[in-house]
Structure 1
């Protein structure tokens, strides 16, 4: 009997506990409001080249070969004039100049030991997630990605942009063979719920962009499935046109588990609290936003979690859906009101389509 009690005690599953959600949200809000900046952009060409050569030697060999060496060679061929022209042509640093400087920052921050403990932890998580996706054991019968089989190199910066990544199809412009992923510097020590966004970037965008044609195929699958289920109100095109962000949310859940979904809810509440004073998921989805409305992303995460195969999947899905329900008011997408049942049903179909369709 004693042995049976011990075995029962070992196998008892505790109910998921999110009672500290409000503290996590407040922590995110404080981190976002701190607006902590990372290292300044290295815009002096000759100084940058010297720093890159020195930092290169401190990187793991794989990143020396796939990131630092090809990037340094590209900058050398550009010369000071070409480098300066890129900076002038992209003053907002959202296109080529932003990409170029972010690649440089990833090499410098890792090579020069910026925020070393947090940077190493960030890189370790990225590598574990990406290596797990690429492992031979997990990919039996599935081809390797077309563009990159190397985990992204990490950096800190651009807090106003939140977490983001330059996938391998973007970094290839500078002959770099890995993605670059960034978190706001404040999240090195604060607002740690932001770290739950990492699989969205690394196992989402970076993987989706490493397989040529995958995004379009997924968009077609989602649109066709929603149409076949008679989901109207513009939702088939709404979801399909946001497939990059939508599929990244689902892939984040697939690779990290429910933490990716509940973390998204808490992180968005914290950011919205910082920007608008309201710690709630937004119910409105503007036409120009490449992301689905926050409220839909909460439901998408819940339904993706429900499809996972582990003992507490159902319990976690209920909690994530319940948390999302707390912020529900009136969903409006592209200026059009959407009834709650149709919106939730569409999110469930999208999650299932992305997770279960053989591509």
Structure 2
């Protein structure tokens, strides 16, 4: 990769596996960094997380977070593998790892050890619950969704806590890791000094809970499950139509007036029960009944067209095929070809005018079988 890319010339030694770390390093790879993924001879766990599998037989879970990387197969419990890992770290600008706390130090690859000779190194550690009292706790996304409060506000109704349909905590943590690495690199540009970046799943989730967390800290409100409703905005939920569900996401009084005008009952905008957002939140049940009756007369697609034309935030609940089709119609190019890959990849969502993301390498192939070369690049 040439230095013309945003992160061109940077080398990332990626000792992470599964999702949070690989997602972070993939994003950095898309922006031009050279990412060398270190895998145990058995391979990253997600290589076996299927179905589904792509046309080459690879698990799509693994493929989804490991493009733009080369894979080096190293057994860190052998002198040869450990020596190769140390050589990689010596030439890297960034190290990313998500082993259990203390594991890298026991291998002689901990941040204090490797930065002794490389004070300019940026070292990013990703854990489940931090490096203190929670260091021994296993960091699995579902577990953190549970103990971190996300499931307590997610579900169809009170008493039925539900996980989010993707490993969202891992993704959020990966984003925080990437931001931390970039900030540390900016600091290094100014001072020549690297630093240790630490992110963990629990803290990342609490930060991502934003208004819910702020409501607890600022007002002592412990939120609960509200299904598809919003604690502070109405109407901001799912409604039935003549054929399938429709989402209304009304953020202000002007949008509400436009909504009820399109629905043929403009007088609701001046009804004392619904005049302001605070009124509508207080009268959520009555408002829901009014809107449900009005929306029942047309299909979701018809309402989508009519409401969108009027500037009202609304839309049907799409499946993933519909979602990709919508993004394609809007010109967002959501799927991109990757040279040598068996299938397209989800596009990096960052758009940059001068140094856009690139898609240079497919996900690395599986580790060699016994008897093959124990070190190979993808």
TM-score, normalising length from structure 1?
A: 0.25
User: Greater helix percent: which structure?
Assistant: 1
Larger Rg: 2
**Whose strand proportion is higher, 1 or 2?**
2
